[in-house]
Amino acid sequence: MIELIESRLRIWGGDLTTIRVDAIVNAANEQLAGGGGVDGAIHKAAGPELLRACRALPEAHPGVRCPTGEARITPGFRLPARYLIHAVGPVWQGGGRGERGLLASCYQESLRLAIGIGLRTVAFPAISCGTFGYPVGPACRIAVETVAEALARDDALETVLLTAWGGEVRTAMEDALARLLKAGGSPGGSQ
């Protein structure tokens, strides 16, 4: 399992909107209306067609196009990625409101969508770590463990990049991956 993780799961520092992969995952809000941080940067780089495509997606319930923990897909428009997968992470509320499961679900659902349409390469931001306030260390452990579990179950994906714009997130991602590799590639529980 260690070789599998080392060869297919990578940490990358840089601008998510410039990566040439099959799909970029957007840390979105439930309305899929664009916003700040990663979401705003992706909407800006993809162009106005992205907002129109998001508005065309059906609402799950009034005002919500993608509930927390779920994912939706659109074309990438002006991005180098062919597709955008929009995943809505949880807002941190102290850890007792199912945040861990919802965050893991964002990664699982995004990968399920990617595999479902035959994509081979996917890049993720650190979902929920910005304005949603999820503590960086635990969020990065959840990201690394959830992606590693998916890669162990399914060989459809060639490469998954976990991207980090800032140093704190990159360090936390690298630490989480090193911890997983040291444990022999077996994910453990994180909050």
Annotated catalytic residue within 39, 154, 155, 175 = 39
pLDDT tens profile 14-39: 899 999 999 999 999 999 999 888 99
pTM of the model: 0.93
The neighbour count for residue 88, using CB atoms within 10 Å, is: 29
C-alpha distances in angstroms, 117 versus 20, 59, 60, 83, 148? 17, 22, 22, 10, 20
pLDDT at position 92: 97
pLDDT tens profile 169-184: 999 999 999 999 988 8
Measure the CA–CA gap between 42 and 79, rounded to whole angstroms.
8
State residue 126 phi and psi, 5-degree precision: -85, 90
pLDDT tens profile 42-80: 999 999 999 999 999 999 999 999 999 999 999 999 999
The neighbour count for residue 20, using CB atoms within 10 Å, is: 11
Q: Classify domain 2-182 at the CATH class level.
A: alpha beta
Q: Structural domain boundaries of the chain?
A: 2-182
Which DSSP symbol is given to 89? P
CB 188 within 8 A of CB 100: no
Which DSSP symbol is given to 117? T
Q: 15 an active-site residue? A: no
Return the H-helix or E-strand segment holding 13. strand 9-13
